[in-house]
Amino acid sequence: MKLRGKFFPNVGSQFKTKKYSFRTRKEKIMISRRKVIKRVSAIPVLGFIGASGIGSAAAMTGTENVLHLVGGAKLAMKEGKSIYESLGVRPVINGRGTVTIIGGSRMLPEVEQAMQEATLDYVELDELMDGVGKRLAELTGTEYGMVTTGAAGAMIMATTGILTGGDPDKLWQLPDLTGMKNEVIIPKYSWTAYGSSVRGVGVKMITVDSLEELKAALGPQTALVLVLACGKSMSGPLSVKEISSITKSLGVPILVDAAAEGLPVPNPHIAQGADLVTYSGGKYLQGPQCAGLLIGRKDLIKAAWVTSSPHHGFGRGYKVGREEILGMLAAVEMWMKRDHVKEREIWTSGLESIAEKLKDIPGVNTKIHQPPSEQLSNPSPSLLVHWDISKIPLSGYEVEQLLWDDNPRVAVSGSGSFLPFPPNFEPNISINTSQLKSGEEKIIANRVFSVLSNPPTIEKRVGLPDFNVGGVWDVRLEFAATISDQTFALVQKDNEVVGTHYGSYAPRELKGSIHRNEILVRSSYTLDGVRLNFTFTGKVENDLTMGGKVSLGEYGNGKWEARRR
């Protein structure tokens, strides 16, 4: 049976959204199942079924709802609880935007439908990816395309494809790069945490900050140049265009990380001279959260596909199934059809309604920031909420935490487990409405209004220090499954504590304070895209020992104890 769908006009004939132009026994069963799901989804406590399409029927047993899954399996949920709450996990109202740690973006209905259609039949994945690659080429105006495990997966597969050229012998040699080119040049402005995706393949990263340094760095071992899509990549001395003017004649490809962008046609990065460009599927394209795109030169993408799953070897773990492949293609098809002007108007309207709710709070000012039309990355507007700290004695960090800890849980700015570092101690927060469901902007407005119009009293740490912690301390950190011996070198002046945290990876600046016997110090290392941000809290037991808990930022929590050397 051939797959026919409105998202894949090159594969088969058109079909209507609610009525198929063909009927097999399997499809009749699926359509019948969808009717059941549609009816069940009207029940508020099981509203998620209609969106996910994972169940066939539901029954209520006392205070529990039982979702009957295909094959007879059951998933019990407490009455009135979402599927997340039934697991003891709190849902989040996303006022931050397309942030992975809280789920990225909302998949389009057309993406969900395409993924559902993909489950109807099996297919040879090499043939599927080739067909999708050709269709992506048509849609994006590039030579070829490939669906990957997110933008980071696209960067890894692009790198392995360039290193091996699609040679299976070299693939099985990875991560040993003997006999292969093993250097990647990166402009200084392009360093982010995602550069670790490329570095993890085993290459040597060479940072340059001028065309002269670029020319000096280029050599026989140069495999590629990695560039972050941003203002500097579009204009300036190390733009893609300027880099390409030097690398093209040498045969050195340029890989551009454009994860948080949409898909303008013609592609601006390819037009500037890039060979490959990566995109996230789970951001503004609103495709599958675990999918991404690699578009550009056909030969290099073909080589990248050879090194990725379902083929064995280094890239086997970077697997995309037929569901993600077709869901990602549907997202690209829809990107070309979406009314982006209207979308921005809706996002802005949500921000305006929040600003209207807050306008009469004494000391509060709001301002909507509209990204310029030429801004491709993170193009959604945001609302900056600022307040007079003499009238509302709260920092942005404290407001973020109050919103995060209350019910319903609201995420704004950098709230949650992925806080900016250092925390925002300024009297402001930012709100993004691009990923909200209709009505959620009202919930955010009411929650922020409640906090700022009647700010709670937050107990502050006060008191002169009972101890002087200046000196060198041997620190033992307890992580999830290991213990690491590190060092603090501290200087104390009154309540202020500064110094250096010598970690396993690199030394970093340390700042904090001590009140009575309570100590709080933070260390941070963010060079070359690294994200190591630790917050140590605890008690000084005596002149020789101290310890407590440590927040590892996005990496969870641990314990620490220290003994004066």
Q: Which structure tokens are listed for 10? A: 């090159």
- pLDDT for 467-523, tens place per residue? 999 999 999 999 999 999 999 999 999 999 999 999 999 999 999 999 999 999 999
3-class DSSP state of 2: coil
Total residues found in the chain within this entry:
565
- pLDDT for 281-314, tens place per residue? 999 999 999 999 999 999 999 999 999 999 999 9
Is the pLDDT score of 25 beyond 60? no
**pLDDT tier at 77, thresholds 50, 70, 90:** low
Q: Which structure tokens are listed for 13? A: 């004939």
458 vs 257, residue with greater confidence: 257
Among 3.40.50.1360, 3.20.20.70, 3.40.50.300, 3.40.640.10, what is the CATH number of 122-335? 3.40.640.10
- Average model confidence (pLDDT) across the chain: 87
Quick one: pLDDT at residue 377? 86
At 458, phi and psi to the nearest 5?
Answer: -105, 120
3-class DSSP state of 462: coil
Say how far apart CA 195 and CA 185 lie, in whole Å: 11
Say how far apart CA 461 and CA 447 lie, in whole Å: 26
Task: Using alpha carbons, list the distances in angstroms from residue 347 to 100, 105, 285.
Answer: 20, 14, 16
Quick one: pLDDT at residue 220? 97
**Cis bond upstream, residue 253 (ω within 30):** no
Q: Which structure tokens are listed for 279? A: 């995109």
> What is the mean predicted confidence (pLDDT) over 393-414?
93
Q: What is the pTM of this model?
A: 0.84
364 vs 15, residue with greater confidence: 364
CATH number of 340-445: 3.90.1150
Distance, C-alpha 339 to centroid of its chain: 24
Q: Quick count: other Cβ atoms within 10 Å of Cβ 22?
A: 11
**pLDDT tier at 250, thresholds 50, 70, 90:** very high
Give the CATH fold of the 471-564 domain: Lipocalin (2.40.128)
> What is the mean predicted confidence (pLDDT) over 116-124?
97
Q: Which structure tokens are listed for 539? A: 């008690």
CB-neighbour burial class of residue 488 (10 A; exposed 0-12, middle 13-18, buried 19+): buried
Is the pLDDT score of 19 beyond 50? no
The answer to whether residues 295 and 277 touch, using CB atoms and an 8 Å cutoff, is: yes
Intrachain domains 340-445 and 471-564 with the same fold? no
Quick one: pLDDT at residue 460? 86
Task: Using alpha carbons, list the distances in angstroms from residue 401 to 418, 425, 555.
Answer: 12, 12, 18
Helix-strand-coil split of the chain, %, nearest 5: 35, 25, 40
Quick one: pLDDT at residue 420? 55
Q: What is the DSSP letter of 93?
A: E
- pLDDT for 515-565, tens place per residue? 999 999 999 999 999 999 999 999 999 999 999 999 999 999 999 999 999
Least confident of 17-31, 109-123, 422-436, 477-491: 17-31
**pLDDT tier at 78, thresholds 50, 70, 90:** low
The answer to whether residues 98 and 260 touch, using CB atoms and an 8 Å cutoff, is: yes
Domain boundaries, the chain: 25-89, 122-335, 340-445, 471-564
**pLDDT tier at 76, thresholds 50, 70, 90:** low
